[in-house]
Amino acid sequence: MYVVGTFIILMVFGMPVAFVIGISGTVYFLIDQQLPISIIVQKIAGTSQSFPLLAVPFFILAGNLMNSSGITQRLMRFATLITGHLAGGLAHVSCVLSFLMGGISGSAVADAAMEARMLGPTMLERNYSSGYAAAVIAMPGLITATIPPSLGLIVFGFVCNVSIGKLFIGGIVPGFLMTILFMSVAGIIAKKRDYVPERESIASIREILGSFRECIWALIFPLILIIGIRFGLFTPSEAGAFAVIYAYIVGKYIYKELNYKNMMETIIATVKDNAMVMLIIAMSAIIGYIVSYDNIGNELYKVLSELSIGPNMLMLLSILFFAVTGMFLDPNATVLIFGPILTPIIVKAGIDPVHYGLIMMSTLTFGNMTPPVGMAMYATCSIMNVKIEDYAKESVPFFVSVFALILVMAFVPDIVMFLPNLVF
């Protein structure tokens, strides 16, 4: 109770999530005099030395390198060519760009911030309502966090001992369905409001193929990773190192846009991004130890067993819990805290952990786009200077449709598991 109380109080006062987790865990050790305080340092240091966890900083660096290499601009031109002729063309460009960016950034917040800078001002110039523009930029970030290589799926696979290769492949179909869903909702709204297309006519095959050739190195990147992991050419951590080399070669020698200046800017940005993510992961090791020490997982399983909750009800309760938790906590922090507790329970209940991991990350990331403290929502609204209430009002159709899709994915598992079962 002391840990939970400390956690809530510190969150209310707006302390960064990593320090909230670390201080809350430390309170437990201060109260329980039987545990040596040195365990805190041991757990933090031990987590930072994990070989599988190397995939996280490597993929963050690879994504930043690709963004500095001009790949993002090429992908936006490609997305504009294939969807710009539709009503509300820029909204569709945002959805498709998020799908394409999934193979590069793997972060919903990074994608939302990038698109807010690139597409936001133009949308407002085209007389899109500010709330709608922010919503149609922030919400598709969910696609980016689902398409491989997703940082959230790497973290889930690491802490829950689940195949990252299967998680990567399992994210492809849900990511594609999310893209279709967002484009459908955006199209309906655009037609009702008479939002103009970005292009007067459909792009020619020649234009599309020309742009496709420019983007080919970015588009085949996720495919290379999946094939490499599937056939044992490299582990997920080694795939991250390969991704860095791949991104550097593409930027330096193929596109020739990666120079000393933007290389240094990329490294600085990567250090900042990694510091935030790795600090959360390191501090969560303290909570993980407490969960194991107090045998919370087995106790929770006993409670659920006595209540006779079936797999479907367990999945529904999980979705509701993650939807609420995602509104307040960083998805990676939530996975690190609750993933090791819940994964053994759902396995005993007969739920595939790959299926559960994809539902868990989709729901948590969805919470990142919702009030009151969704990080992707705040990033987009602050960059575009949009009021949260305007964003929330315009996001309702997206909220409803995403929640419905998550429920379908949860209770029709073949949608998620078709490709992993086929490939593996």
pLDDT attached to residue 105: 60
Range of the domain at 300: 2-423
Residue pLDDT tens, the chain, 424 long: 677 788 778 877 777 777 887 888 888 888 866 778 788 888 877 777 766 677 778 877 877 787 777 777 788 888 888 887 887 778 888 888 888 776 566 667 777 777 787 788 888 888 888 888 888 888 888 888 888 877 788 888 888 888 888 888 888 889 889 999 999 998 888 888 888 777 778 888 888 888 888 888 877 877 787 777 777 787 777 877 888 888 888 888 888 888 888 888 888 888 887 777 777 777 877 877 777 777 766 676 677 666 667 888 888 888 888 888 877 777 777 887 788 888 888 888 888 999 999 999 889 888 878 877 677 787 788 778 888 888 888 889 999 999 999 999 999 988 888 888 887 7
CA distance 103 to 372: 29
pLDDT attached to residue 70: 75
pLDDT attached to residue 242: 84
Query: Into how many domains does the chain fold?
Result: 1
